[in-house]
Amino acid sequence: MKPNLHVLGVDEGPFSWDDERVPVVGVVMRPEYIDGFIVRHAKVDGDDATDMLVSMVKGTRFGLTLNAVMVDGITIGGFNVVDLKAFHERTGVPILTVTRDRPEEKDIKDALAKHFKDWERRWALMSAYSTVPIKVGKGRATARDGKGKGRGKGEGVGGTIYANFVGMSLDEAKGLIRRFIVRGNLPEPVRIAHLMATAIVKGESGGKA
């Protein structure tokens, strides 16, 4: 990965299950400053998340300069699942997802099976990658050995986030996260995208970011 990092961080705004669409914000950043913002919309529980992310890269002036995309989780707007491999193949840009909490796989699979006719397709996209726990704090990130089960839900608050990635190595994923951690657990591009998306919906930023 190139030393002069130029990253797109992505998160959606708050939504209700009755909403048809949710605003999605992309923040284009270098470690030192913000270059710009991109706003799109995705269907709640839809199937357009991958296309929407591709449009953020290929449909804007920032696309040719990006080294990577960071997304808050592998789903956008409920269970609108991002196909990480397809995104990377279509754009050539590495992609990384980060979450504070360890995914509860059984609960997710049960919810998909209950609510979606195409739940197997969605589950296949979500379970295609091994979720890697990465310790963060004081601007540093190190992978755990993966042997311990951890504390489960809420573990990310204690200094661990969970990542999936395509188009980069584990060391590159760790390095990317390290470069963009300022305070807390989330890389700045994702954290700022969350704040901006929340402000679009509610009129001001807020919530856990």
Q: Largest Cα–Cα distance in the chain?
A: 45
- Give the Cα separation of 171 and 164 in Å (integer): 13
- Of 89, 66, 85, 22, nearest to 189 by C-alpha is 66
Residue 178 has pLDDT above 80, yes or no: yes
Model-level pTM? 0.86
User: From residue 152, how far is each of 103, 145, 158, 170 by CA, in Å?
Assistant: 8, 16, 11, 22
- Give the Cα separation of 7 and 56 in Å (integer): 12
Residue 195 has pLDDT above 80, yes or no: yes
Domains of the chain: 7-202 (3.30.2170.10)
Residue 207 has pLDDT above 70, yes or no: no
pLDDT tens per residue, range 108-128: 999 999 999 999 999 999 999
Token duo for residue 119: 């739940």
Q: What pLDDT shows up at residue 137? A: 66
Q: What pLDDT shows up at residue 139? A: 46
- Please list the residues that pair with 166 across neighbouring strands: 95
Q: Are strands 160-166 and 132-137 parallel, antiparallel or unpaired?
A: antiparallel
- Give the Cα separation of 91 and 80 in Å (integer): 19
- Of 87, 97, 181, 166, nearest to 135 by C-alpha is 181
Residue 81 has pLDDT above 50, yes or no: yes
- Give the Cα separation of 199 and 14 in Å (integer): 9
Q: What pLDDT shows up at residue 147? A: 38
Q: Which of 17-31, 116-130, 153-167, 184-198 has the lowest mean pLDDT?
A: 153-167
Q: Which residues, other chains included, contact 96 with Cβ-Cβ below 8 Å and sequence gap of 6+?
A: 68, 69, 70, 71, 163, 164, 165, 168, 173, 176, 177
**Percent helix / strand / coil, the chain, rounded to 5:** 35, 25, 40
- Of 150, 124, 118, nearest to 135 by C-alpha is 150
pLDDT tens per residue, range 82-103: 999 999 999 999 999 999 888 8
Q: Which residue has the tokens 């969350």?
A: 194
Q: What pLDDT shows up at residue 151? A: 35
Q: Which of 50-54, 62-66, 128-132 has the lowest mean pLDDT?
A: 62-66
Q: What angle do CA 75, 81, 82 make, to 5 degrees?
A: 90
